[in-house]
Structure 1
Amino acid sequence: MEIASKLRCPAVLLLVFLGFNTIDSCSSEKVLLVPPPRGKSHWMALAKVGRALVEKGHLVTVVVSEDIVEKRRTEWPDFQFEAFQDQGIEARLKTLQDNVHSVARILSLYELRDIFVTAFGEFRNYCALLLAHFRVPHIALMRGDPNCLDEKATGVPLPPSYVPSLATDFTDDMSFAQRLQNVLLYTFLPMISRWGASSLYDELVRKYVGEEETIQSVTSRTDLWLYLTDNVLDFPRPIMPNMVQVGGLNVREADPLTEDTETFVQSSGEDGVIVVSFGSMVKTMSKDKREIFAAAFARLRQKVVWRYVGEKPAGLGNNTKLLGWLPQNDLLAHPKTRVFVTHAGLNGVYEALHHGVPMVCLPLFADEPANAARVVARGLGVTLDFSTVTADQLYQAILLVLTNNSYHETAARLSRLHRDQPQSPMERAVWWIEHVIQHGRLPHLRARAVELPWYQYYLLDVAALLLSVCSAVLVTLWCGCSLVCRKCCANGGGKLKSQ
């Protein structure tokens, strides 16, 4: 759901498991992958999990629209596919995505609103297929839910005093003004988002699941949450036992570069290489922006490998190589790579973290400002405003990260921390998935908070009782004191009268 993430929250990807016929083993089980209708980076993360499951002997089936099923079969021959007619939804979402994100730019609030309304209206048509299978154990793979359903479904309290919203670029060390904004976001954004989700999906839920069900109640029965987060990069926050961090599962061991690219990289000598990429959706830049970037890169002593499609910038330097497709992970793993200039997409940030490469971030939309804030807070790099950046600012930022040893030392240290785990993120994800396959639903890991009505969750019934008891005691004391005072006054008045 790449379009959905324009509100700075990546979309939910669901794994639905079928055929739990064994108890003592989890060999050769059936796994159904339900990817979002759009979003290459989200699909790649889900597909890599599917491939890991195939390597463990499981049968993986992917549900896709007829428009792209042949392409998916060619790219992923290990999977089985179930195609369905989507009435042109895939094509319309692709057109919307290309119109909005083919050129790198900051979106206005009005554009974000229009994208949200249009995209989620299309997503509604995908929901029926998902809900039809929702009675089997299921797992969510996600960074965050744009509908904020997961916050309530996991039963985790999120203190706004130190847990920044993904819709902001705040860190866990917030000023008073930031904490105020964070409280307002945590209060009103979930209310609005859940209301929108309910209005779109509750009718489908009642049709395919049950008359008494809602999209929130269905989401709350998720058996396992695989979050694309990591303790090294993300800020600490409360979690439940069925919430597992698998940030960085997209990272793999590097493959050799093509001969042409390797020759170019080696020609950089001791100065090294700068890798530049703004993700799979951004194809090109406006004329003024591409000239700004080209001018900044031309001033560098390093060689630059830039993922770029479109008209060649007039000011492009001889040190810069343009590529329509970038072997990003392989380049970041190369010993000659010095800095990564990025939009701070989640996959790229984790690849840079894994390989120990400091970053210059120019976030555009979705969770990218939040990702960039974490990069800066951890000392992994710097961030710039894409909409106002100048050639000199970009050049100075790259130069700062290149020449300040603290960024490289921090990147190397955090890379060692990120790698020093008993399991890789992918191994951990597969282990938990097979744990669900073997044992079915895991109710012992789910918080009871999910099932409590709101007044019990916030202890309003207890507060009401305590308030009633305290009020009764205070009223009793007041009445008793008033009665004693009246008696004393009455007795005193009688004595004076008799005298």
Structure 2
Amino acid sequence: MCCTHMRVAERNFQPRPSKMTLSLAFFIFLLAVNVPAADGGKVLVFPHDGSHWVNMKVLVEELHSRGHAVTVIRAADSWYVSETSPHYNTVTVDVEGGGNEEFFRVFVSEVIKIKRNKESLWARLALDMELKGKFFELHKKVCEMVVHMFENKEFMRSLQDAKYELVLTDPANGGGVMLAHYLGLPLVFNARWTVHGEAHFAVAPSPLSYVPLPPSELTDRMTFFERVRNTCFYILRMQLYKQVAGPNYSTLAHRYIGPDVDYFSLFQAADIWLMRVDFVFEFPRPTMPNVVYMGGFQCKPAKPLPQHLEEFVQSSGEHGVIIMSLGTLISELPHDLANEIAASFAKLPQKVIWRHKGDRPAALGNNTLLVDWMPQNDLLGHPKVKLFVSHGGTNGIYEAIYHGVPVVGIPFVFDQADNLCRLRAKGVAKVIDVSELDKKIFNFTIQEVLTEPSYRINMQRLSRLHRDQPMKPLDTALFWIEFVMRHKGAAHLRSESYKLPWYSYHSVDVVLFLLTAALLILLIFVGLVRSCFRLCFKRKIKSD
């Protein structure tokens, strides 16, 4: 597939290209997007940058392999979405999209520092406010990017002329949502989160009595006070999400979609929600017909390891191997913490493969191999791997479930603690708070998970349940994307409840009406009784 590159320039960008240059660029773009794929359709993708792109890329590549033509819209400062690819065309918009890798890495470092030093609540609140401000700016940048697209009428006309059949997007930002509604195209989500938090809460009934709101770290078996906590957590979080997302997307929706449009109703109007969830991991909860579950869709059988890794793994003998990866944002741990972990690993009979950047820990043992990158899925699928030390990222968790490898979790930020809480509730993981992590606790936790058979037995049971499905999760996802393309939407699966005001959705108006009616009946009854008593009393007086 050819890779198309077109830039949408900022309005004040200098020097301005000539009309002939613009016409030629649009001609090349239109030629690329109008080349028909064999038995395929055209999909417009507006991704969320960062680790979310890892999931979206799996769908994009599978769509390409099935003959569909995919065009991906990316910002000029994208740090995950490649500008060229054999699997998709790209449209690069010359604005910043808010994807700032350095900020998040610095933020994670600050979180680790605050947690380990057990600094005051005020320090944590200040950090939370900083994160809130960053996400506000991220959504603002996304909206600026969308405005630049919408204001370029020639570019928008080219998108309309390309005859795309749907927009595939991650609702962690609202750019793809606005684009789909502006173009009048069916909308499919690759979702775990929306701009208002966990995606189920946007589309499905979510009783707070047994549906914990991430990241509350609660389970579906809550005590009374935990239910109070869950309710309070929900109210505060929803207000926070509205403050972060509302001002930006409301303005955008009112300007380009309609003056009375509620921006979040545009999210709720999506045709299909491809949910990155499997109920071997998630707690049981109500759902909706247009929610399709594809948790673990990125997982696949392990491939042979590179020779140097295979030799290292085989050298472990009967003790086996532990692998450790803390994701892309946690690239470098504080030196003393890295030494505590290294010293703990050095005491183990197992071999260790540790994805670690930065200086080599002084306490590193001969049994530990440091790598900048590892084929995580292939290692987890190797029979000699006994344990996975993870930060609790969703991709790694599902790969561990798929291959049946128990977990020791060290959560740092975002949904990581909540993800690991779910694994702990299933009896397949132990979790260590970074504020308590030292070589003694770390070693004790690893030994417990390695020597207690229940962790591996439970995880292998989850693996069997996860794999025992009528269709592979990726095939299920592609079926529903193609379903929407064939039928130009899936409105028959979508509830219209999102159009109701909150008081109608929760039947507050009905309850008030019934209470009012009951009160009127009661008042009438009381009035009749009083009238009867007065009449009887008057008759008695007359007879006397």
- Alignment TM-score, normalising by the size of structure 2: 0.82
2:43 is the counterpart of 1:31: yes
Q: Compared with structure 1, are the counterparts of its residues 214 and 452 closer, same or farther at alpha carbon in structure 2 (3 Å cutoff)?
A: closer
Pairwise CA distance, 1:132? 3.5
Task: Specify the alignment match of 1:111 in structure 2.
Answer: 127
Task: Specify the alignment match of 1:9 in structure 2.
Answer: none
Distance 1:481 1:26 in 2: 82
| 8 Å contact from structure 1 (residues 284, 310) kept in 2 | yes
> Paired residue for 2:139, among 123, 130, 137?
123
Residues 67-466 of structure 1 mapped to structure 2, 5 A cutoff: 67-68=77-78, 72-74=82-84, 76-87=85-96, 89-90=98-99, 93-101=100-108, 105=112, 108-127=124-143, 128=146, 129=149, 130=175, 131-134=178-181, 135-148=184-197, 150=199, 153-154=202-203, 156-466=204-514
| 8 Å contact from structure 2 (residues 43, 68) kept in 1 | yes
1:124 match: secondary structure: helix
Task: Specify the alignment match of 1:48 in structure 2.
Answer: 58
Pairwise CA distance, 1:198? 1.8
1:270 match: secondary structure: helix
1:211 match: secondary structure: coil
Pairwise CA distance, 1:457? 1.1
Comparing 102-111 with 302-311, greater Cα deviation is found at 102-111
- The C-alpha deviation readout for 1:352-396, integer Å capped at 9, x for no partner, is 000000011111111111111111111112111112122111111
Pairwise CA distance, 1:258? 1.4
Q: Which amino acid in 1 is paired with 2:391?
A: H
Distance 2:301 2:74 in 1: 28
2:318 match: secondary structure: coil
- Structure with the greater relative contact order (CA < 8 A, sep ≥ 6): 1 or 2? 1
Distance 1:491 1:267 in 2: 109
Pairwise CA distance, 1:422? 0.9
Q: Compared with structure 1, are the counterparts of its residues 126 and 303 closer, same or farther at alpha carbon in structure 2 (3 Å cutoff)?
A: same
- The C-alpha deviation readout for 1:108-129, integer Å capped at 9, x for no partner, is 3321221221233233232325
Q: Compared with structure 1, are the counterparts of its residues 385 and 272 closer, same or farther at alpha carbon in structure 2 (3 Å cutoff)?
A: same
Pairwise CA distance, 1:101? 3.0
Pairwise CA distance, 1:149? 8.7
Task: Specify the alignment match of 2:12 in structure 1.
Answer: none
- The C-alpha deviation readout for 1:36-65, integer Å capped at 9, x for no partner, is 2x31x2101001100011111000111112
Distance 2:393 2:110 in 1: 16
Q: Which runs of 5+ in 2 are unaligned?
A: 1-32, 116-123, 150-174
Pairwise CA distance, 1:210? 2.1
Q: Compared with structure 1, are the counterparts of its residues 67 and 470 closer, same or farther at alpha carbon in structure 2 (3 Å cutoff)?
A: closer
Aligned length: 469
2:499 is the counterpart of 1:492: no
Pairwise CA distance, 1:458? 1.6
Distance 1:48 1:245 in 2: 15
Comparing 455-464 with 51-60, greater Cα deviation is found at 455-464
Alignment RMSD: 2.3
> Paired residue for 2:74, among 59, 64, 68?
64
Comparing 125-134 with 284-293, greater Cα deviation is found at 125-134
Distance 2:377 2:80 in 1: 26
1:72 match: secondary structure: coil
Q: Which amino acid in 1 is paired with 2:138?
A: E
1:122 match: secondary structure: helix
| 8 Å contact from structure 2 (residues 97, 141) kept in 1 | no
| 8 Å contact from structure 1 (residues 26, 434) kept in 2 | no
Q: Which amino acid in 2 is paired with 1:126?
A: V
Q: Which amino acid in 1 is paired with 2:461?
A: R
Distance 1:267 1:142 in 2: 41
Distance 1:69 1:186 in 2: 32
Distance 1:170 1:180 in 2: 12
Distance 1:435 1:26 in 2: 17
2:205 match: secondary structure: coil
- Alignment TM-score, normalising by the size of structure 1: 0.89
Distance 1:433 1:463 in 2: 40
Task: Specify the alignment match of 2:164 in structure 1.
Answer: none
| 8 Å contact from structure 2 (residues 429, 455) kept in 1 | yes
Moved over 6 A (4+): none
| 8 Å contact from structure 2 (residues 428, 459) kept in 1 | yes
Q: Which amino acid in 2 is paired with 1:123?
A: H
Distance 1:235 1:437 in 2: 31
Distance 2:504 2:276 in 1: 31
| 8 Å contact from structure 1 (residues 152, 450) kept in 2 | no
1:168 match: secondary structure: coil
| 8 Å contact from structure 2 (residues 136, 244) kept in 1 | no
Distance 1:343 1:69 in 2: 21
Distance 2:349 2:301 in 1: 28
| 8 Å contact from structure 1 (residues 61, 81) kept in 2 | yes
| 8 Å contact from structure 1 (residues 30, 58) kept in 2 | yes
| 8 Å contact from structure 2 (residues 332, 357) kept in 1 | yes
Q: Compared with structure 1, are the counterparts of its residues 433 and 200 closer, same or farther at alpha carbon in structure 2 (3 Å cutoff)?
A: same
1:164 match: secondary structure: coil
Distance 1:462 1:69 in 2: 51
- The C-alpha deviation readout for 1:387-425, integer Å capped at 9, x for no partner, is 212211111111011111111111111111100111111
Distance 2:96 2:290 in 1: 36
Distance 1:358 1:272 in 2: 13
Distance 1:309 1:439 in 2: 48
Pairwise CA distance, 1:461? 2.5
Distance 2:138 2:65 in 1: 34
Task: Specify the alignment match of 1:475 in structure 2.
Answer: 523
2:193 match: secondary structure: coil
1:226 match: secondary structure: strand
Distance 2:526 2:310 in 1: 87
Distance 1:426 1:217 in 2: 28
Q: Compared with structure 1, are the counterparts of its residues 137 and 231 closer, same or farther at alpha carbon in structure 2 (3 Å cutoff)?
A: same
Pairwise CA distance, 1:471? 1.3
Distance 1:73 1:239 in 2: 37
Distance 1:282 1:152 in 2: 29
Q: Which amino acid in 2 is paired with 1:112?
A: D
Q: Compared with structure 1, are the counterparts of its residues 437 and 363 closer, same or farther at alpha carbon in structure 2 (3 Å cutoff)?
A: same
Distance 1:366 1:251 in 2: 22
| 8 Å contact from structure 2 (residues 98, 137) kept in 1 | no
